[in-house]
Chains A and B, each alone.
Chain A
Amino acid sequence: MPKPHRVVLDRVSGYADEAAAFMRRRRHERRPFARVYWGDGRAVEYPADSDAGEVMFAAAGRLIDVAQEREAE
């Protein structure tokens, strides 16, 4: 029978492995998105190929460029 602290360690490292696997998959599978949230709890996701999404991605890209200019300085 394993010592009690071994059981806890195994369980914790099991959770950590699962979390790492989840993050790995998230990195591989996640697609660009634009989500808008309103005060009443509504949230809408706009795909990059939609009209609204296209404008949002363009504006976000511009902000990313502005932030990169600052980093380059």
Chain B
Amino acid sequence: MPSNTTAIRQITTTVSQDARSSDTAGILAHVPDPQLAEQSLGRLMELSPEMRGGAILDGENVLAASGDAAEWGDAAAALLAATDAVGESAEQVHVATEAGEVFAVRDAGLVALAVTERFVLASLMAFDMRSVLRDLAAGPRVDGAAGGGA
């Protein structure tokens, strides 16, 4: 008569653990953590001292904002809707007014918004925003910080 332990030995738990370690990170990489998004926004504002404020969105969800998330979300949606109305989904928007400048950059399924002082270097601003989004989309580094680095 076979003992109970024989049946238990047939369950190979290491298979499921392997699957978890190899697949979960890939799945989670597409869902940025709001805390990481806050860190990324902080890093962007540190890189660009001309920034008055900004936000990072995942679709229409505000992951991080320098002020009231709902207000940033509504204002961002209005700008993105206005730019999308003129054609297919735009990758970058730069609006320069007398009161300041607004940048919106789409990358890796995320959107970064920045409001800056006038006469900032647009190419540098867009580069910083794009690199922050890519780092955020790539997920946390091994040491727990958002990707990239100074």
Do A and B belong to a common assembly? yes
A residues whose Cβ falls under 8 Å from a Cβ of B = 23, 26-27, 30, 32-39, 44, 46, 52, 55-71, 73
Whether B97 pairs with A32 at a CB distance below 8 angstroms is: yes
In the complex, the answer to whether B113 meets A63 with C-beta atoms within 8 Å is: yes
25 contacts between A and B (CB under 8 A): A33-B94, A34-B95, A37-B90, A37-B92, A44-B86, A56-B82, A56-B83, A56-B93, A58-B78, A58-B82, A60-B79, A61-B97, A63-B76, A63-B79, A63-B113, A64-B97, A64-B115, A66-B53, A66-B67, A66-B68, A67-B53, A67-B100, A70-B53, A70-B68, A73-B67
Q: How many residues of B contact A (CB 8 A)?
A: 35
For B8, the chain A residues whose CB sits under 8 A away are: none
State whether A60 and B90 are in contact (beta carbons under 8 Å apart), knowing that A66-B72, A66-B75, A69-B71 are contacts in the complex.
no
Kindly list chain B residues whose C-beta atoms are within 8 Å of the C-beta of A68. Answer: 52
Say whether A71 contacts B78, CB under 8 Å.
no
Known contacts A59-B81, A69-B71; can you find 9 more A-B pairs with CB under 8 A? Answer: A35-B95, A38-B91, A55-B82, A55-B85, A63-B115, A64-B100, A66-B115, A67-B66, A70-B67
- Across the interface, A36 reaches (CB within 8 A) one of B74, B81, B83, B100, namely B83
Question: Which label, helix, strand, loop or mixed, suits the secondary structure of the B interface?
Answer: mixed
| A33 touching B91, Cβ below 8 Å | no
Residues of A close to B79: CB separation below 8 A: 56, 59-60, 62-63
B residues neighboring A (CB under 8 Å): 52-54, 66-68, 71-72, 74-76, 78-79, 81-83, 85-88, 90-100, 102, 113, 115, 119
Mostly helix, strand, loop or mixed at chain A's interface?
A: helix
Question: Once the chains bind, are A34 and B93 in contact (CB under 8 Å)?
Answer: yes
Q: How far apart are the CA atoms of A26 and B122 in the complex, in Å?
A: 14
What CA separation (Å) do A23 and B66 show in the bound complex?
Answer: 30
Shortest CB distance A40–B (Å): 9
Bound: A59/B54 CA distance, A: 14
A46 touching B119 by the CB < 8 A rule?
Answer: no
A69 partner residues in chain B, CB cutoff 8 A: 67-68, 71
